[in-house]
Structure 1
Amino acid sequence: MRYIRLRKLGVFAAVCLFIGHGTEALASDSRGHFESVVDEAIRPLMKEYDVPGMAVAVTIEGKRYVFNYGVASKESGRKVGDETLFEIGSISKTFTATLAAYAEARETLSLSDKASQHLPALVGSSFDRISLLELATYTAGGLPLQFPASVTDQETMVAYFKGWQPGYAAGTHRLYSNPSIGLFGYLAAKSMGEPFDELMEKTLFPELGLTRTHISVPEERMGDYAHGYSKAGKPVRVSPGVLDSEAYGVKTTASDLIGFVEANMDGAELEDTLQRAIAATHTGYFKVGDMTQGLGWEMYPYPVDLKQLLEGNSPEVSFKPNRVTRLDPPLPPRDDVLINKTGSTSGFGAYAAFVPAEKIGVVILANRNYPIPARVKAAHQILAELQRAP
């Protein structure tokens, strides 16, 4: 009897071993397929725009694949690897929006609050009539893309905001602005009683499980921090600035950023308050053409063609005032959308896009600020192949 049991166990083990090898082969085949898909989109792009290094991550049905290209530093020849940190520029705004939505879920603020309610120094200014939501969606009335050079610290920041006069009624025009969403993040942190950087580093990133994501790169991680490269090919990194953390300060790996994308598609394992906060960032508040502005994220009905994505990420939308249509009531979060965000610093270019209904997503990180249309085209090409994958 013992012999029979052992024989059955041996057969069972052999079957398990066979199945295991089959699963590994299938996983290997999948990785090989996706690597070919990514190669086809990325290698020509790197050559055309002289991009030294890139990291691309894709996710499909909860499975994650990361592909690395080129060098993190031309000077040392260090290759891009899974630990390489990239500046993600304005994709940071999606983290800022998540923190603010988390604050709202914890009832330390409401998006309908006027900005001056959370910063008494602004009482009596235009910010008595501008809501946190309007700051978050760049509809405060025409705040500029960047602060003027005279704004160098918190004192001059407050003075600037106190004296600023809107060019449009709040909620009527969208003008993409770092000071706008930067102030939104600053006030969100203020409502929670802690500095923004500490809330990100000690609360939000850990709760999201992002162990290789930073505002300030720790000394022990500086060896993994890629050099960005200017148009002249010189090594550069982002310069400190007022509200830089809130607007464009995150540095991360492709693996961590695709993890954030996955949390945006399915955060079931996250704490309930954080789940609600992430979902809230997908609420649509204003429309500009085919693009719907959420909190940090920008959304399109899916399927979306390349022309629509390029228009929504064009200089006309990014750098010029556009009249908006307010969605009243706001558009609840939905799965049948493509959600995206670009990000740039002087030496880095990034893009993230995902489709919750299809459970697919892609992030593309580069240590050169190459044209946004090229990023959008590459991501659209990759997502189309992911959508077709069996």
Structure 2
Amino acid sequence: MIRFLFISILITVVIGCKTNPDAVLTEKINPIEYSMDNNAKLILEYPEISSISIGIYKDGKKYTKYYGEIDKGKGNKANDKSIFEIASVTKTFTAYLTAQAVLDGKLKLDDDIRKYIEGSYTNLEFNNRPIFIKDILTHTTGIERKQFSEILAKMFSIDVTNEERKEIKEYGTADFVDDLKKYQLEVTPGEKYNYSGFVAPEILALILEQVYQTTYNELLEEFILKEAQMSQTLMNVNLEDKKYVLNGYTTNNRLVEPMQMPLTGAGGGLKSTVPDLLKYIEFLLEKDNPVVKEMQKPLFFDEEEGDQYGYFWMLGDDNIMMHNGGTGGSVNWLILIPESNSGFTVSFNYNGDMANDLINYIASSIVDDIINYPQKNAYFIVRDAIRENPDNWKKIYKKIKEETKEEYDFDDPNMLNSLGYELMGQDKIEEAIEVLELLVSEFPELSNPYDSLGEAYFMNKQYDLSLVNYKKSLELNPKNDNAVEMIEKIKTIKKN
């Protein structure tokens, strides 16, 4: 599972046209489309990423956009008919069905899962603590997916053979139950986050089928797909529609076969389109939906990572709900921002070395853009100005700031700070210093700008100026341990 976080992206490729400040001042661009276009443009600077699909729902309006090409050199762009594996985002559908079952009185979060599985299963407890329903929903069952089944462990390999694919495909409920009976817990359930992949959700699917006396697929259809009018979301793609399934790639542009998902697919088997996922987002954002409110209940806090979990969803500030997915050749995020009546999906048909960092970056950036709507992020226009007009970018910055202060957000110090660190990462120290000096002049009351400028001066071996800025940072924030450490380091260097 990909962890959701803000990543500082270091860009080294220059693309695009010269920034024209007059065009920026006169051209009125929809803030949502501005975010989609600029975030995609930035990510496509990385040669590993060739295709990006983005769908945003905001205040009743839906936006879908596709960038790049599915297969490098072929010019084949994705579109509204394109089908991709949503992988672990499938768990949010299973979460909805589970919340529905709780509200229907079919089960309880603190129920021992063995209550719903025929047999004794004395192996499914540790230290006299059984696995509860809520442990499945928060990935705290203690079940290790790689140790659960030799056959199922192969499905995550991009080098799976045809014979192994056949074994995975033929792996059925009886085999799953047999492996469940043999599995030995080695940790106490409910205490530690340990991502179990699709194994625990399959246990939950068995339970849901038991309490409703129908199949998992029928439950999906009844409670979600039919209600949300999602006609292009399914477990198995028919022959006629296989031409719409996106090819997936990993490192070195290696084509990856779609994941072979056995059993019900409750943990990662769904395929969908961007328009269908926007219908799903709209469905989940309906006001006063008791099932969604149930899913938002905090059930577990991961102290190591600082993450809060509800019904499979990671819960952020202001009721933000997040889930991601990935196969051998794709990654994606689905995020709900109820306070802004919005949500979005973003995906790459690539899951190689940099996929996690890049998908996390673009997801985090879009979240910020939606929260700040209708103001647009000035980062992109300032970044272009710095790179394309190195001698007069500050004049462009000043003009745009003065004349578009209502349209662009210049009040966030992280904007210039991020640009400064981006330049430092490219070893453009002089340029970084220029940006961070502007940051300090714009936000003289904040501690962090001085800390950042101190670091840039230090990297440029301008120790006296570095010391001055670290001292100022510490003066404004006496708890800045980094400043204390750097001040002592600089003093040692100056002594020698």
TM-score grouping bracket, smaller chain normalisation: 0.7 to 0.9
Q: Report the equivalent of 2:113.
A: 115
**Quick one: distance in 1 between partners of 2:104 and 2:150?**
36
- Residues 367 and 48 (structure 1), Cα distance of their counterparts in 2 relative to 1, 3 Å cut: same
Alignment of 1:1-390 (within 5 A): 31=30, 33-48=31-46, 50-73=48-71, 78-126=76-124, 129-144=130-145, 147-150=148-151, 152-178=171-197, 179-201=199-221, 203-243=223-263, 245-267=265-287, 275-289=289-303, 290-301=306-317, 336-370=318-352, 371-390=355-374
Which structure has greater strand proportion? 1
8 A Cα contact 2:332 2:348, kept in partner? yes
8 A Cα contact 2:249 2:350, kept in partner? yes
Deviation beyond 4 Å, 4+ runs, structure 1: 28-31, 73-77
Q: Provide the alpha-carbon RMSD of the alignment.
A: 2.5
**Quick one: distance in 1 between partners of 2:293 and 2:71?**
37
- Residues 162 and 49 (structure 1), Cα distance of their counterparts in 2 relative to 1, 3 Å cut: farther
TM-score (ref. length: structure 2): 0.60
- Residues 199 and 81 (structure 1), Cα distance of their counterparts in 2 relative to 1, 3 Å cut: same
Aligned-pair distance for 1:90? 0.8
Percent identity between the two aligned chains: 21
Task: List alignment gaps of at least 5 residues for structure 1.
Answer: 1-27, 269-274, 302-335
Aligned-pair distance for 1:223? 2.3
Aligned-pair distance for 1:234? 3.4
**Quick one: distance in 2 between partners of 1:176 and 1:243?**
19
Higher relative contact order structure (alpha carbons within 8 Å, sequence separation ≥ 6): 1
**Quick one: distance in 1 between partners of 2:234 and 2:116?**
26
**Quick one: distance in 2 between partners of 1:211 and 1:267?**
23
- One-letter amino acid matched to 2:320: L
Greater Cα shift, 163-172 or 233-242: 233-242
8 A Cα contact 1:122 1:158, kept in partner? no
1:175-197 per-residue CA deviation (whole Å, 9 max, x = no partner) reads 01121223122321232122223
Task: List alignment gaps of at least 5 residues for structure 2.
Answer: 1-26, 153-170, 375-496
**Quick one: distance in 2 between partners of 1:187 and 1:232?**
42
SS in 1 for 2:119: helix
8 A Cα contact 1:360 1:387, kept in partner? no
- One-letter amino acid matched to 1:208: A
- Residues 149 and 84 (structure 1), Cα distance of their counterparts in 2 relative to 1, 3 Å cut: same
- One-letter amino acid matched to 2:62: R
**Quick one: distance in 2 between partners of 1:121 and 1:231?**
45
1:120-156 per-residue CA deviation (whole Å, 9 max, x = no partner) reads 1354331692112112211112433674324543233
- Residues 190 and 76 (structure 1), Cα distance of their counterparts in 2 relative to 1, 3 Å cut: farther
8 A Cα contact 2:261 2:269, kept in partner? no
8 A Cα contact 2:48 2:251, kept in partner? no
Aligned-pair distance for 1:232? 4.0
Question: How many residues get paired?
Answer: 322
- One-letter amino acid matched to 2:274: A
8 A Cα contact 2:296 2:319, kept in partner? no
SS in 1 for 2:174: helix
